Amino acid sequence: MDFVTGGAYNGKLDWVIEDYDSDYTILKEGQIPATVGTSLLIVNNLEEMIQKDCTKPEEAADRLWEAFYYSLMGWERTDPARQLVMIGTDITGGIVPVQQRDRLWRDRTGFIYQQITNDAKRVFRLWFGISEQLK
């Protein structure tokens, strides 16, 4: 699995599509990874998925995330030709939001990005379409 992050509208998805140069599927909301027929699976806008779960109690949100995350990791592990690329936007740029719900979203996003970064084989940061490999 690779993880790509960077600012909003900085060309992350375009860079992944161009750089990986493979038939790909962008996972749609509610789509089960097992139904993907391409060797490259792209999960885009992680921060939006995380934000939707912030309305749920923390334990429920954690369970949903873990189930989703492990289904993705399982999809990749079942075939060595498969590649998972997760894309998440750097939200708030380090600024602490005023609203409590926005702080919760920022914190959960940060914790999840740390988990992904820890598990990822490679991590890239994209800024204005220019990539930098961090891991």
Number of domains in the chain: 1
Looking at the domain assignment, is residue 113 inside a domain? yes
Looking at the domain assignment, is residue 69 inside a domain? yes
Reduce the secondary structure of 70-92 to three states and give it as a string. Answer: HHHHHHHHCCCCCEEEEEEECCH
Looking at the domain assignment, is residue 95 inside a domain? no
| Domain membership of residue 32 as a residue range | 2-87+103-133
Residue 32 tokens, joined? 């089960």
Question: How far lies 113's CA from each of 39, 107, 110, in Å?
Answer: 23, 10, 5
Looking at the domain assignment, is residue 93 inside a domain? no
Mean pLDDT of 15-28: 94
Looking at the domain assignment, is residue 94 inside a domain? no
- Mean of per-residue pLDDT scores for the chain: 92
pLDDT for 41-69, tens place per residue?
Answer: 999 999 999 988 877 888 888 899 999 99
Q: What is the pTM of this model?
A: 0.92
Q: Residue 18 is part of a domain; what is its CATH number?
A: 3.40.50.300
pLDDT for 88-122, tens place per residue?
Answer: 999 877 788 888 888 888 999 999 999 999 999 99
CB within 8 A of 7, min separation 6: which ones?
89, 90, 93, 126, 127, 128
